[in-house]
Amino acid sequence: MDFRELFYARWDGMSIPNPDIAQVAEYAGGMAGKMFHRQFVSEERDNPVLRLSGLGKYSIVEVLAKKFGLIKQGGDHTVDNQCRLRFLAGDLFECTFYVMLHQLGFTVNETQKSISWHGVDGHTDFIVTTPEGEQVLLELKTANDYYFKQIKKWIGDERGYLTQLVTYQECVGLPAYWVFYNKDTSEIFIKALEDVPQEQREQRHKRALGLVKAFNECESWEDFPLFCQVPPPKIEKLKDGTHKTWSDTGLLKLYIGDYDYVKPELFYVVDRKKNDYGKLRNYVTDFLYPEKHANLKPDIYESALHFDH
C-alpha cells in the first residue's frame, strides 16, 4: 500500500495508542513557537533571495526588484496581519498534522529539511516513514473550500505547487505527495506527484532551470527583459465590439514604493485613460523591449496551467 492508502485507512479508523504522544505533542508545540517567531519577529521575507517555493510563481520579479532597489524594504509594508493569519493557518495545520501522523502509526523523520536545487534553497515540510517502512516526502497545503474542490480535479502551477514539489522531489529522491487541508470543512486530500503527467512535470522543471539561469545572469533591472519575457498584455473587449490591449501588471502582486503595483512603464509604452465603463486602464501602445527571441526565454508570466488528469 502506498502512503495515501495507508493514511486513508487509518484516518477513517481508530487512532493507534502511542506511548510517546506526549513528547510528540511537546515537539509540535516547539514547532509552533518557531512559526510564531517567524511571522511576528523575523524579517526574512525582506531578503532578496530566490526560494524554491517561489519558482513556480512570479516571485523572481519581486526578488529582482528588491535586489535592484525598486521596492522599499523593511517596515510593516512587507506583511500585514491578514497575511500573518493566512500564513499561520498553514503553520498550525503543519504542527497538528505532525501529531496526527504519529498518532496514526507514521513516523516523521525530519521537518523543515534544508535542501538546495541548482543553488536555490528550500525547506521540505515532512519526510515520513510509513508503518510499512517506506519513506515519503510530504508537502502540506491549506485551501478554502472553493480552491480545495478545484485542486481535487487538477494540479496547476498558478500557486507554484507543481514546480515546488518537482524540485523538492529531485533533491530528496523519495516518492512525493501533497497533503491538502480544507480550512472550511477539515477534509484531507492527498495527491501523488507521479499522478501529474510526466510531460507536465518536465515542462515545469525546464522552466525552473531557465528562471534560475535568468536570475543568476541578471545584473540590473534593465537586464531583466534580456533573460525573461515581459508580462503579456490582456485583451479588453469594448462596447463597440472592438478590442484593446492593456497592462494587467497588478497580477504580479509586486509593489513599488509603498502600495503601488509594479509600474507598467517598466515594460511598455502606455496610454493611461478610462475605458467605456469609467475604469482607468494602462493601455499598451508598444513594448519597450524587443520580443524577437521571446520564445527562448522562460515565461514567468504564463497564465495558470490547469492540468487535467
| pLDDT (tens digit per residue) in 161-172 | 999 999 999 999
Mean predicted lDDT score pLDDT of the chain: 79
Of the two residues 282 and 143, the one the predictor is more confident about is 143
Residue 96 has what pLDDT?
94
Q: Per-residue pLDDT for 4 more than 80?
A: yes
Q: Is 274 exposed, middle or buried (0-12, 13-18, 19+ CB in 10 A)?
A: exposed
Mean pLDDT of 231-238: 69
Q: Taking residues 233-244, what's their average pLDDT?
A: 70
Give DSSP secondary structure letters for 76-105.
GGG--HHHHHHHHHHHHHHHHHHHHHHHTT
The predicted structure's pLDDT at residue 279:
79
Rounded to two decimals, the pTM is 0.77
CA distances from residue 228 to 2, 58, 183 in whole angstroms, order as listed: 40, 11, 36
| pLDDT for 301 beyond 70 | no
pLDDT per position as a tens digit, 172-204:
999 999 999 999 999 999 999 999 999 989 988
Residue 304 has pLDDT above 90, yes or no: no
H or E element: which one contains 128? strand 126-129
Tell me: pLDDT of 260 over 90.
no
In terms of pLDDT, which residue wins out, 204 or 264? Answer: 204
The Cα 256–Cα 273 span in angstroms is 21
More confident residue, 31 or 246: 31
Residue 61 corresponds to which amino acid?
V
| Separation between Cα atoms, residue 120 and residue 230, nearest integer Å | 23
**Residue 134 has what pLDDT?**
97
pLDDT at 40: 82
**Selection from 74-83, 202-211, 235-244 with the highest mean pLDDT:** 202-211
**Helix and strand counts by DSSP (H, E) for the chain:** 8, 13
pLDDT score of 224: 73
How many beta carbons lie within 10 A of that of residue 66, not counting itself?
A: 20
3-204: which CATH architecture?
A: Alpha-Beta Complex (3.90)
The reported pLDDT for the residue numbered 259 is 35
Q: Which three cell numbers stand for residue 108?
A: 516523521
pLDDT higher than 60, residue 296: no
Confidence of residue 207 (pLDDT cuts 50, 70, 90): confident
User: Which range in 13-27, 70-84, 222-236 is most confidently predicted, on average pLDDT?
Assistant: 13-27
**What is the amino acid identity at position 142?**
T
Amino acid making up residue 223 = D
Kindly list the distances between the CA atom of residue 136 and the CA atoms of 139, 182, 240, in Å, as whole numbers in the listed order. Answer: 10, 22, 57
Spell out the domain ranges in the chain.
Answer: 3-204, 231-287
**pLDDT above 90: percentage of residues in the chain:** 38
What is the pLDDT averaged over residues 20-26? 90
